[in-house]
Structure 1
Amino acid sequence: MPKGKGDEGGFLKFLWNSDTGEFLGRTGSSWGKIIVFYIIFFAGLAAFFLLMLYIFFLTLDLQKPKWQMTNGLIGDNPGVGFRPQPDQDKNVDSTLIWFDRNRKENYEFWSNQLDIWFNAIPKEGGSDVTKCSFGTGGTDTYKDKNKKKEQISSCFVDNKQFGECNPENKFGYRLGEPCILVKLNRIYGWEPIGFGLNGKQYNQQQFPEIFSNEMKELEKEIENNPQQGMKPMPMFLQDYIKKEAEKQDHPPQWKTDFLNSVFFSCEGENPADKENIGPISYYPHPYIPSYYFPFTNQRGYQSPFVMVQLKKPMPGVLINVECRAWARNINHNRPDRLGMVHFEIMID
């Protein structure tokens, strides 16, 4: 008992010593000095941190990434994306589009995603979007017509040009003829390099030979790299490109801009898939025009896309679909999913 009282008295005396005027073992002046010290210490630490942060932000450009193309992690070979997608919260790795065309609440899960995408497109006439066309190179969207890097507005994406792939038609899902939005992933400063060009320009006499030689070179590259899953450009797309490029009513600059576009093809991945997928339509056409490139963080920029509609897919069968983007500087690599995208579709 005496020991307990002694301990209690000792603690109380440590808490407040009336003889020396100490609180928790320090006098008032001692506490004042240590408080001032830590205020100065932490203020200096905070100032040093803010100075380092300021110097760091001086090295950054808020309008463009510091490391671009091959110098960055993204690289210079764009990937391909698609919409709609399955619920990523339930299965982040799933690429299966599975719906029942006879159940409204079921197919609207998919069509509503495309609705959201359409509604996000800036309206024509806004200060940040301009209607572009081939033959001008989209130069009316640039401050300096000789410097594409100074682009200040975006080329308009007309959501009325996608045929049957529209909100009123539920993007074909209620009819069992679904539309898939296919787009190229953004890479700052990247521009497509077209097929069939003599240098950077279209030449009417040389185009057939140049285009044919490029297709042969592509076939040789496929033979030399079988592990990458490369394929020759589908004949329908080759014929389409040649037909448009050889039309007499298009001027040379129009054809140059057309050939510099990014073309798309979709097909069944395996022989059985090719039989079950049925006819495929592309809206408004099987390419993204060249005037949408390069992406330079323009105001109002909306990623351009192509709508791919499966017209008569076999119901009740899982169909593997593969879509590929085509340009001379887009390489296909199936293991890394570069230049292509894979998804499955099943209709009940």
Structure 2
Amino acid sequence: MDKKTRNKHPSLPVPGSSNKVPNAPLHEEVGEPPKRSWRNRCCRYMYDRNTKKFCGRTCKSWLYILVYTVMYLIFLSTYTLIFLYGSLLVIKYLDAYQMVEKTDLLTYAADGIGLSATPTSLNAMPLIWYRNEQQEYQKYVKSLESLLSKRRKREVDSFPDLGPCGEAPFGYGNSPCVIIRINKQLKWSAKPLNANSSRMDIPMNVRHWLKLEKQRLWLHCDGYHSYDKEHIGKIKYYPDPPGFDPNSFPLDKNSHSPLIAVQISEFTLGVSLAVQCKLYYEGGSSTKEFLLYVTPKRK
């Protein structure tokens, strides 16, 4: 190849020029492409402008998922309600089913049926606390009136004789009354004590009542401690002696538990008294405790 031809070859430098080729690209180092930050990747995953996808799915795909989820929840809820309704029907027909009033489902003793005392449920604690003045104990009078008015509407002929505890002011304030009843519980019944019972926890009054011709579930009230017994004064019952007819139990949904009124008198004023009422029957007993605190009138 002659000199002229060699100079015309495009790959050869022009004579008189430098070894550097004009407009030649600069040398670039070969390496990994620049990495995107985690924020960019997260934003791109949440919404990709190129593909117009949210979290890797199109709007149409997310709409299908939402519709199927709502349909599944509706189906699951309907199936659950049908199953529960069918289960309740089976229980109703296979077992003796009765309605129980909420007011009768109060406290239950650990060793037997529960007892309720009115008006002690007005407070968070079973407490009767008032000054011996009419405006102070009016709330207790209203509570007893409410209880007895509901009973008299249904039991006009068979309402028990509660003496002074059967009408306002129910002995408040010198001799307050408390009405005791057995809480309504499904299928509960009890046998009366035997007159020859060897139980050591039976008071003398109850042993005397056991000798009567009628058999009852006997109720006995007294001070909780020896100090309370010293200051509690006298206790009267209406009816007297205080017994529940065992043939009244178990109760049905339309009947009410019998009532026994307990009237406390001649107690010491200004002293907090713990009172315990205990129901005795064969094979167990039930108790109800409450506090009585009455202060003298203002001078």
Shorter-chain TM-score bucket reads 0.5 to 0.7
Distance 1:303 1:40, change over 3 A: same
Q: Does 1:117 align with 2:147?
A: yes
The residue number in structure 2 matching 1:329 is 283
Structure 1 residue 305 and structure 2 residue 259: aligned?
yes
Q: Please give the secondary structure, in 1, of the residue aligned with 2:284.
A: coil
Query: Conserved in 1, the CA contact under 8 Å of 2:223 and 2:232?
Result: yes
213, 218, 228: which is aligned to 1:263? 218
Q: For 1:96-135, list aligned pairs within 5 A.
A: 96-101=127-132, 103-124=133-154
How far off is 1:63 after superposition?
Answer: 2.4
- Asked if the contact 1:264/1:326 (under 8 Å) is kept, the reply is yes
Cα RMSD (Å) = 3.2
State the Cα distance separating 1:130 from its structure 2 match.
9.1
- Contact persistence 1:266–1:321 (CA under 8 A): yes
- 1:47 is aligned, of 45, 58, 78, to 78
Tell me what 2:238 maps to: 283
The question of whether the paired residues in 2 share the 8 Å contact of 1:76 and 1:187 is answered with no
Conserved 8 A contact 1:317-1:346: yes
- Larger helix percent: 1
Partner residue, 2:208: 239
**Counterpart contact for 1:74–1:187, Cα < 8 Å:** no
Is there any run of 5+ residues in structure 1 with no aligned partner, and where? 1-6, 66-72, 132-155, 197-210, 220-230, 246-257, 332-338
Give the letter for the 1:80 counterpart.
L
Deviation at 1:163, TM superposition (A): 0.3
User: In the TM superposition, what are the counterparts of 1:1-348 in structure 2 within 5 Å?
Assistant: 26=58, 33-34=64-65, 37-61=68-92, 63-64=97-98, 77-85=112-120, 87-88=122-123, 92=124, 94-101=125-132, 103-124=133-154, 156=158, 158=159, 161-168=161-168, 170-174=169-173, 176-196=174-194, 211=195, 213-214=196-197, 217-219=198-200, 231-232=201-202, 234-242=203-211, 244-245=212-213, 258-259=214-215, 261-285=216-240, 286-296=242-252, 298-299=253-254, 301-331=255-285, 339-348=286-295
Give 1:122 shift: 4.8
Aligned length: 238
Distance 1:273 1:110 in 2: 22
Structure 2 gap ranges (5+)? 1-39, 100-107
3-state SS of the aligned residue for 1:42? helix
Deviations 1:294-317 (A, max 9, x none): 123x32x22222100012112122
Secondary structure at 1:344 match in 2: strand
Aligned match of 2:29: none
Give TM-score, length-normalised by structure 2. 0.67
Q: Paired residue for 1:251?
A: none
Per-residue Cα deviation, 1:112-132 (whole angstroms, up to 9, x for no partner): 2111111221525xxxx696x
